[in-house]
Structure 1
Amino acid sequence: MHIDTQVGLLSMAAEDYHGHKDVVGHSSLVRIMRSPAHYQEYVTNPPEPTPAMAFGTAVHSAVLEPAAFASDYAVFDESQLDGSLQSLEDYKAAATELGIKIGKMKKDEIKDAIKAADIESRFVFREDAIARLYDGKQILTPTMMLAIHSIQASIAHHDGASRLLSNGMAEMSGFWTDPDTSIQCKCRPDWLVMKDETITGIVDVKTCADASADAFARSIASFGYDLQAAFYQDGLKALTGRTLPFYFIAVEKDGPHATAAYRASDEMIETGRAKYRGALQLLRWCRDNNRWPAYQPNGEIETIELPRWASNFDLDS
């Protein structure tokens, strides 16, 4: 799908943004740094969101777009499903009351028979009750909702984080063409800090296990957040003509849901830039040659060593 390189920043639904599959985002560049084969698998067979990813998405919505969060999410209430049919035993009991002879029917067949015979709508199936009650909303457990409210409060009480989020735009989508490789690129910053009508910074909200500086720096290195920071900064420069600072708001998933705010250093940005530029060059080569190798492109046999930390012990002890 072709993107007009002059469109700049757009407000669009997440599914529309992700629908531009031939346009490269930072997540796919992180994959190609592992290997082109992993990149190809990621873009052709996108992974299903994990529970941790779904929770992170809910946190982003609650923190950055609270009105949308209120309309898109609901707390699951088991008590509202009392009496609904769920188990095979429930189905059999309902069938008996309706005078249905189930014989060797399978569960789905019993369900269909109940629906056909229940002309007075005496019985409700659990999945139908959930669909009616929540009407397409994302469902959270009470524990998850409590955690999200605590995260909202933690960020609100952190002066630096709350200042960054006090005025701006959430989830804008940017598209540009990389001048060196002619690869079309995209980014979707969590938050763009605004002063009057001017964008003054880029913010990314990360849920994490440990928001302390040392631990979060390790997360940055492990998950390629440095690549993301540089890619977003350069993307926004292509769109606005200005180099904008990149900030992380890190908030812990578990209580007390501590929050920390960090600005990506110039050194971090340079490291991330070298990574994403190399990733784009590799992607250009793979596309031009229609080759997507894994770890050993030529099928070579390598000698493997223990990592330094594992070999650092005293043989005489």
Structure 2
Amino acid sequence: MTTIAEPIAAGAPTLGIHADLSNTDYHADKTSLSSSGARKILAPSTPAHFRYEQDNPQPATKTFDYGNAAHKRVLGNGPELVVIEHDTWNTKAAKAEVAEARERGAIPLKQHEMDMINGMADAIRRHPLASALLDPAYGAPEQSGFWIDGPTGIRRRVRFDWLPSIQSGRLIIPDYKTAADASDDAMQRDIAKYGYNQQADWYEEAARALGLGGQDAELLLIVQEKKAPFLINVIGIEFGSRIIGGAKNRAAIEKFAECMSTGNWPGYGDEPNYLALPGYAENRDKEMYL
């Protein structure tokens, strides 16, 4: 196990909860590890991929634009949304307006995209459980937290989409996501693909470390489809899957601590990696040719 006394970068957020920390300042802290960062360190990615993305922020994509715009409308916090009043965006005038919006940190949208975002927000407000979990009278959006990991000494961080203000009873942490398909089958695949079980463990551990919800805090995903009727599926992560997520998080934390200590962020390795055929291909070819 690697243990380090993590240096605090100048201007890095102090430990504890930050109610008004901007998304930019949250992500600017390169000496701490987030849930998404932990997932990026582990295979099939590598620490080298993680470090590159930390040092080279990726350009905006439509998928991220839609997600961030929906967060703005649903949660009430985020960048300005700007409708670009042009039928197409390939003209010089349209490109200039899009560039100007992005330059000031806004999200440029076409009118039909804004209509979609507004429709999604309306559907959230009509959903009994989702609207209760995101009730502005009983919580606040985009709350950041920083704490020290006991076993390694590294700084860890979390940014809650929504943090309830009621501290009696069990703390339920809602996390809002958009998807093309929010069905149970699709979300099972997404839990594996995007590591949402790791996120659940990370956020629940953050709540305990930051003194927010005792020992039984739980993350619930509020997943909403991006096409009408903008259906919503509220999903909890099964206990066993969260245990696996916790084990993966611990491996990522240990690797991050090692990389921070050595300054080495490895990729796929410097020696040959000997690989077998995938199991299905090996079985098929054995039957046919051996």
Which region of structure 1 is more displaced relative to structure 2, 35-44 or 283-292?
283-292
Displacement of 1:266 in angstroms is 2.0
Q: Does 1:35 align with 2:40?
A: no
Partner of residue 21, structure 2: 12
| CA root-mean-square deviation | 2.9
> Partners of 2:222 and 2:243 in 1: how far apart?
20
Match of 1:184 in 2: 155
1:195 — aligned with what? 166
| Structure 1 residue 128, shift from structure 2 partner | 6.7
Q: Report what 2:227 is aligned to.
A: 254
In structure 1, distance between residues paired with 2:13 and 2:54: 21
In structure 1, which of residues 50, 56, 75 is the aligned counterpart of residue 61 of structure 2? 50
The partner residue of 1:302 within 274, 280, 285 is: 274
Q: How do 1:152-167 residues align onto structure 2 when only pairs under 5 Å count?
A: 152-166=121-135, 167=138
CA offset digits 1:23-58 (Å, max 9, x no partner): 211111111102111112121222222210111001
Q: Could you say what secondary structure the match of 2:234 adopts?
A: strand
Give the deviation of 1:239 after TM superposition: 0.5
Aligned equivalent of 2:6: none
Query: Is contact 1:28-1:42 (8 Å) kept?
Result: no
Q: Write the mapping of 1:33-182 to structure 2, written as runs, cut at 5 A.
A: 33=42, 34-65=45-76, 72-78=80-86, 136=104, 137-166=106-135, 167-182=138-153
Deviation at 1:195, TM superposition (A): 2.4
Unaligned 5+ segments in structure 2 are 1-8
Matched AA of 1:78? H
The equivalences for 1:165-314 within 5 A come to: 165-166=134-135, 167-195=138-166, 200-240=171-211, 242-243=214-215, 244-295=217-268, 297-308=269-280, 310=281
TM-score by length of 2: 0.82
Which residue number in structure 2 is paired with residue 110 of structure 1?
A: none
Counterpart position of 1:24: 33
Q: How much has 1:20 moved relative to structure 2? A: 1.3
Q: What is the rounded CA distance, in whole Å, between the counterparts of 1:26 and 1:135 in structure 2?
A: 28
Letter in 2 for 1:250: V
Q: Does the CA contact (< 8 Å) of 1:172 and 1:189 recur in 2?
A: yes
Q: Does the CA-based 8 Å contact 2:101-2:108 persist in structure 1?
A: no
User: Does the 8 Å CA contact 2:144/2:157 hold for their aligned counterparts?
Assistant: yes
Name the aligned partner's letter for residue 201 of structure 1.
Answer: I
Distance 1:196 1:22 in 2: 30
| Bigger CA radius of gyration | 1
Amino acid at match of 1:191: W
What runs of 5+ residues in structure 1 fail to find an aligned partner?
88-124
Q: Tell me which moved more, 231-240 or 299-308.
A: 299-308
* Superposed displacement of residue 200, structure 1: 2.2
Report what 1:92 is aligned to.
none
Counterpart Cα distance in 2 of 1:130 and 1:52: 16
Following the alignment from structure 1 to structure 2, what is the Cα–Cα distance between the partners of residues 133 and 269?
40
**Aligned pair count?**
269
Q: Compared with structure 1, are the counterparts of its residues 196 and 298 closer, same or farther at alpha carbon in structure 2 (3 Å cutoff)? A: closer
Cα shift at 1:204: 0.8
Equivalent pair of 1:193/1:199 in contact (CA under 8 Å): no
Contact 1:192 1:199 (8 Å CA) reproduced: no
Cα separation, 2, equivalents of 1:36 and 1:134: 30
